[in-house]
Structure 1
């Protein structure tokens, strides 16, 4: 029985493009229909399940591919793994840690710069608002003085209109 890509992806619980990528990467032999879509046999499905299991165990695709070329498992042929000495590993780790510390400091400095700029901007905005409030207080005092003088002089209806107009003449 031949399965389509969608059926295989549902069986494996992965995206259909992942199945296609695995087929191409691992050079799996699959039939294709007249539209060029992959058709999978149960043997190919088993191979894909093995690939998925190896990936879940943390194997790299290259390592799986290298092992895939070997037919018999009992063969003594194995790909040589590149080993790094502990000293070299520690040197690389130290460089990585140093670089990470540098990046963290740069990030902190940049954040401090941004905060400083924002604080200065807010400070200038507050200063402007204080000036406006002070100007309004002065104008209000002038208006209060003006109305108290008019009341003392005893002006009648004529005095109210200019006082109202003075409210709108800042």
Structure 2
């Protein structure tokens, strides 16, 4: 059925029929010349659009009535594909997060090893200083203080 025939059946302008097809994304077939070729189902869909338009309701609600099972199946397929992609992205994200955590742990381990080496060097230095300090105290203790009378006499006779 041609656009003009459908327009006469509905009592509207042929451009209105074309506008509804595009506006409400109806799946109408075209012939080899690119003109719409309407089936009875298409005419019924257009009648539903016309009723809804006459009731004052615009595009809202019309789309849900017009969408057929094929469109629903296509949407479901796209939704499933998107869901599988989201799941795959979540898996990859978790994998990358695990790799990052492992890398960070290794870096922290290297830092801890470096700090441990510095601590060992500091402990060695402290031990050396303590040993030197003990040696100095022992040298001072082994040197006995000269008797007071000796220091007094050397002070008198020193020129």
TM-score computed with the length of structure 2 as normaliser: 0.44
What TM-score results when the alignment is normalised by the length of structure 1? 0.41
Larger Rg: 2
